Amino acid sequence: MIAFVIRRIIQAFIVIFIISVIGFAVKQSVGDPVREMTGISVSAEELQEFREKLGLNDPWYVQYVRFLGKAVQGDLGNSFFYKRPATDVILEKAPATLELVFVSSLIVILFSVPLGVFSAIRPNHFLSRFLMSGSIVGVSIPVFLTAIMMIYVFSVKLGWLPSFGRGELVMIGGWDSGLLTVDGWLHILMPSVALSSIMLPLFIRLIRAEMMEVLESEYIKFAWAKGLSNRRIWFVHAFKNTLLPVITVGGVQLGVTIAFTILTETVFQWQGLGFMFMEAVERSDSPLLVAYLMFVGIVMVVVNTIVDLIYGLVNPTIRISGASS
């Protein structure tokens, strides 16, 4: 197990290293920091002097090491637009996105597990058939279209739910939370449902497929032959084995979820990281772009590593031998 953990952590560091190189490359190629700082009314000599002072004439690897050194300390430069450290802007916007991802993951888990398991153990039930055909329609509707249609129905036509923003927020310990007020929940309802609309059908299908495969296995047949109750076989024997592949895919899907937060936040003008990212793109705010890239990269690597470790805990084969399968 220890060997397994160490190997995962080394891998995580390699990936973070690669992300930092990409971040650096983006920083180098997008926008000119000197131009941003000085404006246009500066002579060529002064500009050159300024570049020298900022170390922009050093070879790229010297600049990279400097970039990395600062990045480790959390300094990714100042946002051109906000005129503040990019890291601060990221940390200020992160709660909105994290809450959105949290609520929609909750929706996905709460619905996909029972529905997926049900359609695996009762494959011919009309509800299972409905879920299967419904889920393929579900994955074929883009998130932003779901969001737009929801806004049209629930905000424009019925006027039940607010169409943009986070609503009333409560500040606790530097964290702007919308989950503590009724207004906040009304605001997060549509964005989180829209965000989960792409994951939910995917997970229902995945859980169903894995569970059906497990139910065909010899050890499940043996469990029947032992005279165990249906519930024990489905929820202990089969479900535990179903979880393994679902956990791995779940880790990968986090990346997809974050990508979709960009779309969801754009539609609902949700003041989170995704919305900030699109604004930064429009304004060519390269420090903020790089900060977002690094932040998302690190979150993704951390979550994937945790997912792998959980996988190791659930899967006894890895726990002992340290060999991943």
Partner 1 sequence: MSALATFRESYLWYSFKRDKIAIASLLVLVLLFCSAIFAPLIAPYNPYDPEMIDIMNSEIPPAWEDQGSREFLLGTDSQGRDMLSTMIYGMRISITIGLGAVLLQAFLGVLIGLFAGYHGGRLDAIFMRAADVQLSFSYLMVAIFLSAVLQAVVGVSRFGEIAVPFLILVIGFSQWPQYARTVRASVLAERKKEYVEAARVAGFTSPRIILSQIFPNTLSPILVLSTIQVANAVMSEAALSFLGLGMPIDRPSLGSLINSGFEYIFSGAWWITILPGVLLVVLVLSINLLGDFLRDVFNPKLYKG
Partner 2 sequence: MSSILNCIRADDVMATLLEVKDLVVKFALRGGDVTATNGVSFDLARGERLGLVGESGAGKSVTGFSIINLISQPGYIASGSVNFHGENLATMSAARLRTIRGNRISMIFQDPMMTLNPVLTIGTQMIETLMAHNLQMCKERARGIALEKLRKVHIPSPERRLEQYPHEFSGGMRQRIIIAIALLTDPELIIADEPTTALDVTIQAEIMDLLIELCETEGMGMILMLDTCRCRSGNWTLAVMYLRRTGY
Residue whose CB is less far from partner 2, 104 or 242: 242
Which of 232, 235, 252, 302 binds partner 2 (CB under 8 A)? It is 232
Could you say whether residue 186 binds partner 1 (CB under 8 A)? no
Rounded to an integer, what distance in angstroms lies between the CA atom of residue 288 and that of residue 27? 10
Could you say whether residue 56 binds partner 1 (CB under 8 A)? no
Six token digits for residue 273: 């990281």
Other Cβ atoms within 10 Å of 207 Cβ, number = 25
Residue whose CB is less far from partner 2, 59 or 227: 227
Question: Which residues pair with residue 172 across a beta bridge?
Answer: 175
Rounded to an integer, what distance in angstroms lies between the CA atom of residue 201 and that of residue 132? 8
Contacts of 141 (CB under 8 A, 6+ apart): 197
Question: Is the distance from CB of 265 to CB of 97 less than 8 angstroms?
Answer: yes
Residue whose CB is less far from partner 2, 93 or 237: 237
Rounded to an integer, what distance in angstroms lies between the CA atom of residue 283 and that of residue 147? 25
Q: With CB under 8 A as the contact rule, which of the stretches 101-109, 146-154, 171-179, 312-320 interacts with partner 2?
A: 312-320
Rounded to an integer, what distance in angstroms lies between the CA atom of residue 37 and that of residue 32? 9
Residue whose CB is less far from partner 1, 121 or 300: 300
Work out what residue 310 binds among partner 1, partner 2, none; the CB cut-off runs from 5 to 8 Å by kind: none
Rounded to an integer, what distance in angstroms lies between the CA atom of residue 82 and that of residue 290? 15
Six token digits for residue 214: 């497990």
Could you say whether residue 186 binds partner 2 (CB under 8 A)? no
User: Taking the C-alpha atoms of 132, 135, 137 and 139 in order, what is their torsion angle to the nearest 10 degrees?
Assistant: -140
Could you say whether residue 276 binds partner 1 (CB under 8 A)? no
Question: Is the distance from CB of 94 to CB of 88 less than 8 angstroms?
Answer: no
Could you say whether residue 165 binds partner 1 (CB under 8 A)? no
3-class SS at 115?
helix
Could you say whether residue 244 binds partner 2 (CB under 8 A)? yes
Residue whose CB is less far from partner 2, 160 or 224: 224
Contacts of 318 (CB under 8 A, 6+ apart): 1, 4, 311, 312, 324, 325
Could you say whether residue 216 binds partner 2 (CB under 8 A)? yes
Work out what residue 144 binds among partner 1, partner 2, none; the CB cut-off runs from 5 to 8 Å by kind: partner 1
Work out what residue 235 binds among partner 1, partner 2, none; the CB cut-off runs from 5 to 8 Å by kind: none
Could you say whether residue 223 binds partner 2 (CB under 8 A)? yes
Rounded to an integer, what distance in angstroms lies between the CA atom of residue 116 and that of residue 15? 33
Q: What angle do CA 264, 184, 158 make, to 5 degrees?
A: 70
Residue whose CB is less far from partner 2, 217 or 269: 217
Work out what residue 37 binds among partner 1, partner 2, none; the CB cut-off runs from 5 to 8 Å by kind: none
Work out what residue 232 binds among partner 1, partner 2, none; the CB cut-off runs from 5 to 8 Å by kind: partner 2
Which of the 8 DSSP states describes residue 90? H
Residues near partner 1, by CB under 8 A: 14-15, 18, 26, 29-31, 136-137, 139-145, 148-149, 151-152, 156, 163, 206, 245, 248-249, 251-253, 255-256, 258-260, 262-263, 266-267, 277-278, 281-282, 284, 286, 289, 293, 296-297, 300-301, 304
Given the rule CB under 8 A, which residues bind partner 2?
216-229, 232, 236-237, 240-241, 244, 314-317, 320
